Amino acid sequence: MSLKPKPPHPLGNCPGCAEPLESGDRFCGACGFDLSAAEVPDRPTVPIALPVEWPEPPPRDPQSLTTATQHPGDLPGTDSGGRDLPTLPVRTDEVPAAPAAEAPAGRAPAAAEPEAVTPSPEPAAPSPDPAAASPEAGPEAVRPSADGDFTLPAPDPRAALRAEAAAPSPAPSPAPAPAAGDGRKVCVACRTGRVDDDGYCEHCGHAQPRDRDHMEEELPTVAAVSDRGLRHHRNEDSFAVASAALADGSPAALAVVCDGVSSATRPDEASAAAASAARATLITALPRGTHPQQAMQEAIVAAAEAVTALAERAEGEREHQNAPACTIVGSIVADGLLVVGWVGDSRAYWVPDDRGTPPARLTEDDSWAAQMVAAGLMSEAQAYADERAHAITGWLGADSYELEPHTAAFKPDRPGVVVVCTDGLWNYAEAADDMARILPPDAAERPLHAAQVLVGHALDGGGHDNITVALLPFTLPSPGAGPA
């Protein structure tokens, strides 16, 4: 290991023979001069004005373990010989002024802070050595003082800081390039890593949004939007939309919306299975010539069977858990006929294009509140204000009391839009007039945009539940068309 150098002797050189002295010498080693009798030369000092205006500390890397500190060269003043420090401009008759570009980043040059130091009343005399007055001599030049003592000015401690700041910071490690043929999704956060089967990015670890958190689908004659909402941790709603044809070739549009029962097991699977089974039944039955109302009845039965099939407990599932369950509502628009079918409390509304004509609700809830109103025991306002209002009395699932699909057929005399939705929407627009008020006027021409507006209305209202809505524009059949 290296030894620390000894500090210099206060006298510097022997007054008798000018031999260099070392710290601790009491007699000159060359001539034997008694150093204790020699007078130590006075080093002029400069008083510091109070209060001291300390400069800002140098920038510090947050990841560094070192503490940002002030260095002597950061403060304006003079060295022990009474000369200006290198960071301050010095007199032009001594050395050129340091360029302003050498000031620390983010701060003004040191010359902008003269009030921190009281100048010496008597400027130091110019050095008699011609070399000291040379334009090439700078703050780092070696200059003898008046007593012949050669003094090296202290190096600027900020030089290392400036060098570190100028050094390029290491670039973050890039994400590993995906292997050829890697069909996994790209992370929505870093846009480079791939998403593992557990739903997290293998590069940045960011959790990915689930596919069902927000879903949209648009066809020429129907559109639907589903959103998780603001309070639920997953989306337990599901929908299915399709275009079909009747036996005579006339077009038909259909939409099915299902709401999983949160208190049951795997409600998200129940709603998805019901919507898929109902859609498959409808697009098969309608081209065969089955009447749309009968086809809707068969679709609800098929949906119920699909949900019941989920009741077989998966491995590790607890015995006492409720069977998967959901509600369902669907609509078919075909050749001047409007058909709806439902079980539970999901709803369908009719909103005519002519807003001067009153809208209507096309379904009746299978719920405690609806039963109280139907029995004449409570008014509608009283029933839906009760905490039991949304307790459903009908649903699809293995533990439903008895499957009673409801269907109805209508023949509107004017164009309009059918709104098929879960209670995540109609809780914020329960009456038909309220639904018509929030439905955009151009819903028939832009059903997807209108569905997005309705979902946005529920989110603005609080989004307490999953929100799903499908819109089917209804047009009158062309003149001369046969009866449905």
pLDDT digit string, tens, across residues 325-366: 999 999 999 989 999 999 999 999 999 999 999 999 999 999
The phi and psi torsions of 205 (rounded to 5 degrees) equal 80, 10
More confident call, 229 vs 59? 229
Check if the beta carbon of residue 216 is closer than 8 Å to that of residue 448.
yes
The pLDDT-based confidence of 19 (bands split at 50, 70, 90) is confident
Q: Which of 116, 84, 111, 91 is nearest to 100 (CA)?
A: 111
Does residue 144 carry a pLDDT above 60? no
The pLDDT-based confidence of 24 (bands split at 50, 70, 90) is confident
Check if the beta carbon of residue 139 is closer than 8 Å to that of residue 127.
no
Residues in the chain: 484
**What are the angstrom distances between the C-alpha of 160 and each of 58, 153, 163?**
12, 16, 5
| pTM over cut 0.75 | no
The pLDDT-based confidence of 182 (bands split at 50, 70, 90) is confident
DSSP string over 100-160: GGGSPTTS--GGG-GGGBPPPSSPPPPPS-TTTTSTT--TTS-EE-TTS-EEPPPP-THHH
The pLDDT-based confidence of 36 (bands split at 50, 70, 90) is confident
pLDDT recorded at residue 276:
98
Query: Which residue blocks in 328-441 are alpha helix, DSSP H?
Result: 368-374, 380-385, 423-426, 432-438
**What are the angstrom distances between the C-alpha of 92 and each of 121, 124, 137, 340, 454?**
18, 13, 11, 96, 77
User: Cis omega (within 30 of 0) on the bond before 267?
Assistant: no
Mean pLDDT of 186-207: 80
More confident call, 37 vs 358? 358
Q: Which of 90, 60, 54 is nearest to 72 (CA)?
A: 54
Q: Strand pairing partners for 341?
A: 330, 407
Instruction: Report the distance separating Cα 126 and Cα 274, nearest Å.
Output: 98
More confident call, 90 vs 152? 152
pLDDT recorded at residue 3:
40
pLDDT recorded at residue 27:
80
CB burial string 264-291: b at 16+ within 10 A, e below:
bbbbbbbbbbbbbbbbbbbbebbbeebb
pLDDT tens-digit readout, 163-180: 555 656 555 555 555 565
More confident call, 478 vs 121? 478
| Mean residue pLDDT across the chain | 77
DSSP string over 471-483: EEEE-PPPTTPPP
pLDDT tens-digit readout, 209-255: 778 899 999 999 999 999 999 999 899 999 999 999 999 999 999 99
Q: How does strand 237-245 pair with strand 251-260?
A: antiparallel
Instruction: Report the distance separating Cα 239 and Cα 225, nearest Å.
Output: 8
Does residue 275 carry a pLDDT above 80? yes
More confident call, 200 vs 364? 364
Check if the beta carbon of residue 201 is closer than 8 Å to that of residue 238.
no
Cα torsion angle, 107, 108, 111, 113, sign: negative
DSSP string over 274-304: HHHHHHHHHHHHGGGT--HHHHHHHHHHHHH
Instruction: Report the distance separating Cα 9 and Cα 252, nearest Å.
Output: 105
Mean pLDDT of 103-108: 38
pLDDT recorded at residue 54:
46
% of the chain beyond a pLDDT of 70: 65
More confident call, 104 vs 183? 183
**Two structure tokens written together for 212:** 């069902």
pLDDT recorded at residue 394:
94
Environment class of residue 477 by beta-carbon count within 10 Å: exposed (0-12), middle (13-18) or buried (19+)?
Answer: middle
**Two structure tokens written together for 239:** 């929908």
pLDDT recorded at residue 40:
55
The pLDDT-based confidence of 320 (bands split at 50, 70, 90) is low
The pLDDT-based confidence of 402 (bands split at 50, 70, 90) is confident
pLDDT recorded at residue 444:
96
Instruction: Report the distance separating Cα 329 and Cα 153, nearest Å.
Output: 89
Mean pLDDT of 368-373: 91
- According to the per-residue pLDDT averaged within each range, which of 36-45, 152-161, 340-349 is highest? 340-349
Instruction: Report the distance separating Cα 418 and Cα 275, nearest Å.
Output: 18
pLDDT recorded at residue 264:
92
Nearest 5°: CA angle at 367, between 362 and 373?
Answer: 80
More confident call, 168 vs 278? 278
- According to the per-residue pLDDT averaged within each range, which of 11-15, 111-115, 418-422 is highest? 418-422
Q: Which of 52, 129, 70 is nearest to 95 (CA)?
A: 129
Check if the beta carbon of residue 193 is closer than 8 Å to that of residue 175.
yes
Q: How many CB atoms lie within 10 A of CB 194?
A: 17
Does residue 383 carry a pLDDT above 50? yes
Contacts of 127-135 with CB under 8 Å at 24 or more apart are 127/94, 132/94, 133/93, 133/94, 135/96
Instruction: Report the distance separating Cα 301 and Cα 297, nearest Å.
Output: 6
